[in-house]
Amino acid sequence: MPHLRSGLRDHGGRWLALQAAAALAFLLVSGCSSQDATCKNGEYPAAQVNGPGSYCVPDGQEPDTGFVRYPDGKVPRHVGDEWDVYWRTHRLDAQGNEIAADTSPAASVATSAKR
């Protein structure tokens, strides 16, 4: 009987290790896609007027004062996607029109000082 118990423990340990590995793989795969999303489900991103900021607005609500919706077709969905990168060097005015962004170091310091 001792041999049988030893075999069961080994099998149980391998089964537990397999389950742990599968759970870890699932978390890594599923975590990446939601972790780098710009906003969670039920929200959309809004851009800071003439600034680099953004925040997530609940669906069905309008952005707060000082923020506007991104233009249709140019909404960032994930960190580092095409539109997330694009809006790092472009800005929107209060009407949602694209304007040139001043991304020089002096502009960043001036913007930071105003906060």
Q: Report pLDDT digits (tens) over 31-70.
A: 445 569 999 999 999 999 999 999 999 999 999 999 999 9
Given a cut of 80, whether residue 19 has pLDDT beyond it is: no
Residue indicated by tokens 């040139």: 100
Is the model more confident about 80 or about 114?
A: 80
Q: In the chain, where does DSSP find H-type helix?
A: 2-35, 82-86, 105-114
Q: Where are the domains of the chain?
A: 1-35, 43-114
Question: What's the rounded Cα separation, in Å, for the pair 81 and 66?
Answer: 24
